[in-house]
Amino acid sequence: MRCTKAIVYKDFIRHNIQQIKSTLNCKTKLCCAVKADGYGCGSLTTAQIAQEEGCEYLAIATIDEGIELRNNNISAKLLLLSLCTPDELEYLCKYNITPTLYDSQLVKDFDKVCEKNSTTQDVFLAVDTGMGRIGCYAEEAPSMAKFICQECKNLNLAGVITHFAVSDSISDANIKYTKEQAKRFESAIDGIKALGIDPGIRTCASSAAAMAFPELQMDMVRPGIIIYGYYPDQITKQYLAERNIEIDLKPVMQFESQVVSIKHFKKGMSISYGRTWVCPEDTDIAIIPAGYADGLLRRNSPGMEVTINGKPYPIRGRICMDQCMVDIGQNNKDVKRWDKVIFFGPKEKGALKDANDVANETGTISYEVMTSLSKRVVRHIV
Ligand SMILES: *Cc1c(COP(=O)(O)O)cnc(C)c1O
């Protein structure tokens, strides 16, 4: 068992899901995003807890992610948020995965595959209201809905979905943009209804919109990041409290390692590749067996501080593929060989920084910090 590992607190996953549920309108369904291995925290664990908490849908990004869940007895509906290729369509039937589609070619292909497999499958119609990614334009949505319902005998229009580009931002211009997107989505839905077609489940809100714009929860929300314990970008606990939305999130993942050696370095000696750090005075350096191949972002060096026994210490020199070096100062009685080192984690478990703090230091987001943890970092679900 390698000492560089990720601890996943499953009670915190449950706590966060319960927090989200407490903010939902009574008829709004929950679709928990478990894509990218549950944002690095483990998709199966998250899926199991989400199911126990009454979550009807789980959101995935690839068919392989869906197959893994099905092979582990996950029975919730699976919503595929990204597109797949024609040769993958077969697996949507075999594993009962609901795709989000929007162009007549792929819709037609999927209908044929369903026909061949003698099944009827649900699909969601993706509408691009301003995200600039997948989806038909709002004006095209009614005719696409009609095509699915009237030309495709083996498909059932189970819902319509759109995604916001800036719902995690609190600037006036961005709030305005989100409202415009929502308006376009409403007009697409109205157009579908005007043709006498039931649009099914209307869903537009991920974590940010679900919390910051409760009126946009519609029939289903699709939270991801809040399940794993983080507020989306600019939406903070304080921002929500000012709007009378009480939500308490607990970071789920702790990334940790151990001090495997302590070495004395003399003034003028250099640390790591590129010699970017030259000791300005004599010091002791702790060697940690974790590097960028584990997901410790190289651009966090030098300078990122790690926690050892409740105190912060800086990484010196560049983070290597498998190791990094931490300056503990001379004759430090607080740090001993084999002590635990925490890169990030929940503060109530002793970390000084969480994934969002690490992200802020390098201009990224908690999502990237967590999903960067690689496969060789074993997840210990506790
Ligand atoms: C990833 C994703 C979500 C979840 O987003 P969060 O910001 O993590 O809540 C929801 N919907 C779509 C379409 C996504 O791609």
292 is catalytic: no
| Chain mean pLDDT for the chain | 97
Task: Write out the E strands in the chain.
Answer: 5-8, 29-33, 57-60, 77-80, 97-101, 121-128, 136-137, 155-161, 201-206, 220-222, 253-258, 261-265, 270-271, 277-278, 283-288, 305-308, 311-316, 324-327, 340-344, 378-381
Mean pLDDT for the stretch of residues 297-312 = 93
Q: Is residue 81 lining ligand 1, measured as CB closer than 6 Å?
A: yes
pLDDT tens digits, residue range 212-222?
A: 999 999 999 99
Q: Is 223 in the pocket of ligand 1 (CB under 6 A)?
A: yes
Tell me, yes or no, if 273 is annotated catalytic.
yes
pLDDT band at 302 (very low <50, low <70, confident <90, very high): confident
The sign of the dihedral angle between the CA atoms of 287, 290, 292, 297 is negative
Q: Which of 222, 234, 247, 252 to mutate to test the pocket of ligand 1 (most atoms within 8 A of CB)?
A: 222
- The closest-lying atom of ligand 1 relative to the alpha carbon of residue 33 is 4
For the stretch 109-126, what's the b/e string if a residue is b when 16 or more beta carbons lie within 10 angstroms of its beta carbon? Answer: bbbebbeeeeeebbbbbb
Which residue's CA is the nearest one to ligand 1's atom 6? 224
How many whole angstroms separate alpha carbon 368 and alpha carbon 13?
18
Q: Tell me: the pLDDT tens digits for 112-146?
A: 999 999 999 999 999 999 999 999 999 999 999 99
For 86, which DSSP code? G
Distance from residue 223's CA to the centre of ligand 1 (Å) = 6
pLDDT(233) > 90: no
Kindly give the number of the ligand 1 atom that is closest to the alpha carbon of 367.
Answer: 8
Residue 48, pLDDT score? 98
Is pLDDT above 90 for 362?
A: no
Q: Is there an atom of ligand 1 within 6 Å of 160 CB? A: no
How much is the pTM? Answer: 0.96
Confidence of residue 301 (pLDDT cuts 50, 70, 90): confident
- The first and second tokens of residue 190, run together, are 């109205």
Q: What is the mean pLDDT of residues 141-156?
A: 98
> Predicted confidence band at 1 (pLDDT cuts at 50, 70, 90)?
confident
Position 8 scores a pLDDT of: 98
Catalytic residue among 5, 29, 35, 250: 35
Q: State in Å: Cα 89 to ligand 1 middle.
A: 22
Looking at the predicted structure, is the pLDDT value of residue 80 above 90?
Answer: yes
**296-300, 309-313, 358-362 — most confident range:** 309-313
